[in-house]
Amino acid sequence: MFDVFSLAGRTALVTGGSRGIGRMIAAGFLAQGAKVYICARKAAQCIETAKELSANGGVCIPLPIDIATVDGARELADRIAAEAGGRLDILVNNAGAAWGAEFTEFPEHGWDKVMNLNLKSPFFLTQALHGALRAAATPERPAKVINIASIDGIALNPMETYSYHASKAALIYLTRRMAAKLIADNIVVSAIAPGAFASDMNRAARDQGEWIAQHIPSRRIGTPEDMAAAAVYLAARSGDYVVGSTLVVDGGLAYANLPEVSASGRMPPK
């Protein structure tokens, strides 16, 4: 039964993999035997993270590409096709952005930046990698697409993060739609909705973890092991029959009915 969590012999791509949740997932995949490509917009950070993760064992390869545009997504797909022999077992659509501003002042460029990266990019990157995923997939070992949503797409966020909230709710539904289509190609699509995990993006959990923990039923914020385990479960044999579902990993926060706290504890940048 322990083999159901193995990723030995599989190749994965994690977008936004140089830090935060993406790095947690990449580290988990490497620990289970996968070869991992990480993508990030900032080249130096992407390269350094790949070096650090490889030092712990396994093969982690940096691909510093900005996937905020369709052209960027296609460029990344071309690189994967060239470097991974046209086959990809696991795609994690994790790259994302947040924006906060008052309703009357919320700018169009803030809306577009978040919607493009959080919703548009996962769709068009998966589309561009469809051939590579299909080439790697079999009925006995399907390929996997894991979209990283947020509990802010499930529970009301009292902060004024309009485009973030909308993008993550839409991504959860997009996951279902893509899953219904791609399962015919032996590609299993699912999602993870994280709660409070310390990262540069989730500064509240990073800088005020003890305070955030007081508002979480589990009385703690998430750890890298929590996120890695959830992603490994979906990516490995253990998740082969989990089609279109969103796995909530938040210690119970989304359902705690605590309106004074952002569902994710996030303090988004403007």
Q: Which residues are catalytic?
A: 164
Give just the sign of the alpha carbon dihedral 60, 64, 68, 72.
negative
How, if at all, do strands 90-93 and 35-39 pair? unpaired
CA-to-CA distance for 57 and 31, rounded, in angstroms? Answer: 8
Tokens (6 digits) for 237: 């044999």
User: In the Cβ-directed half-sphere of 159, how many Cα atoms lie within 13 Å?
Assistant: 21
The full 3-state SS of the chain, as one line of letters, equals CHHHHCCCCCEEEEECCCCHHHHHHHHHHHHCCCEEEEECCCHHHHHHHHHHHHHCCCCEEEECCCCCCHHHHHHHHHHHHHHCCCCCCEEEECCCCCCCCCHHHCCHHHHHHHHHHHHHHHHHHHHHCHHHHHHHCCCCCCEEEEEECCHHHCCCCCCCCHHHHHHHHHHHHHHHHHHHHHHHHCEEEEEEEECCECCCCCHHHHHCHHHHHCCCCCCCCECHHHHHHHHHHHHCHHHCCCCCCEEEECCCHHHCCCCCCCCCCCCCCC
